Structure 1
């Protein structure tokens, strides 16, 4: 068996984000979600989806 490693406690990282940066990140997220939805439809139309995709919810 391998070496047992002690788990580290989770840490919280705080960052400052300007409003305009946050808006840009949200817009990019929305575009990526749209792209994922479009690609999922293409895969489904070709019968390539084996299971439903896992959805990750970002706040």
Structure 2
């Protein structure tokens, strides 16, 4: 068994983000969400096309 360590008290980190940075981050997030949806759809199509060779998670 490993060494038991005392739990640390959670700390809050405050950061400052400019409006333009926040807008850019939101745009990046939206773009990444669309890409994830696209790749998920492609994966589903690939699994339907060849169910015998699909990887199972």
- For Structure 1 versus Structure 2, the TM-score category normalised by the shorter chain is 0.7 to 0.9
TM-score by structure 1 length? 0.76
SS in 1 for 2:7: coil
- Structure 2 residue aligned with 1:2: 2
Asked if 1:27 is matched to 2:27, the reply is yes
> Which ranges of structure 1 fall in alignment gaps of 5 or more residues?
52-59
Distance 1:49 1:32 in 2: 24
Query: Aligned in 2, Cα 1:14/1:49: closer, same or farther, shift over 3 Å?
Result: farther
Within a 5 Å distance, the mapping from 1:37-56 to structure 2 comes to: 37-47=37-47, 48=54, 50=56
> Which ranges of structure 2 fall in alignment gaps of 5 or more residues?
48-53
Structure showing greater Rg: 2
TM-fit CA distance, 1:50: 4.5
TM-score by structure 2 length? 0.78
